[in-house]
Amino acid sequence: MDIKSAIKEGVMYAIIPARAGSKGVKNKNIRCVKGYPLLAYAIAAAKRCSCVSRILVSTDSEEYAKIARYYGAETPFLRPAEFAADNSPDIQFMEHAIGWLYENEGVLPEYFMHLRPTSPLREKSVVDRACELMLADPAATSLRSAHKQVFPPYKMFYAGNDGYFSCFIDGMTPDEANNPRQDFKQVYVPDGYVDILRTSHVVGEHLMHGSKVIAYTIEKSVDVDAKEDLDYLEFYMEKNRSELYEYLKERYKTLEEAF
């Protein structure tokens, strides 16, 4: 059977990557915020989305897999170590998951919702709207969330080996880069809040996103990449209600209580 013929139209799975080898923040994907691991927040976001029929966690760690199952995800496979290195591109874990599902179950979803654990403040309405946009656009190869970049890259420089600044954008002069920022196009920063992939494109082109990426612009949210981000997240959640924290608190024990 051809792998594309295994794709079931209209079906969406969530896939959450959670490798164990984070260097910047050790065990980042299971670090706790108000008692719950970041991984649990991603799982909760997927569970609250009516478009998602199944939640898979791709991890190289048995410990992470156990935590994922407790908070409601499936871990039918472990990711091989060679796809869980610091420099492993996302396409590797995606193609591994797709290959495993095809070989062991013979069925694939039409879409994968890619949710990184490092964005723990997802709102249901924002995730649901992403699904609506992707499902309504048969030409789209994927959807990516992004927020506005306040300081445009057109105004940035890099230092050459000769000790002089050069413009980040080829062909631009330093004086042109000094123009008011309002003169430049608005640019956006992909933020990992929610991405949606079309399985047939990943399979056919061996690419995550392709050339027709729905521009899903959202407000900037907290993304955890360093210890300072965790500290700010704790502070933010003390001052602001988190939908996912309330959801987890109603249904699950904290990580310390559960294990």
Per-residue pLDDT reduced to its tens digit, 201-248: 999 999 999 999 999 999 999 999 888 999 999 999 999 999 999 999
Contact of 248 with 41, CB cutoff 8 Å: yes
* pLDDT for res 152: 87
CATH 3.90.550.10: which residues of the chain?
Answer: 3-149+188-258
The residue type found at 140 is: A
What is the CATH code for 3-149+188-258?
3.90.550.10
Q: How many C-beta atoms lie closer than 10 Å to residue 3's C-beta?
A: 17
- DSSP for residue 26: T
With cut-offs at 50, 70 and 90, classify the pLDDT of residue 24.
confident
More confident residue, 72 or 86: 72
Contact of 87 with 79, CB cutoff 8 Å: no
Is 23's pLDDT higher than 80?
no
Is 1's pLDDT higher than 70?
no
Calpha distance 92→79 (Å, rounded): 10
What is the pTM for the complete model shown?
Answer: 0.94
Only one residue has tokens 């082109």, namely 205
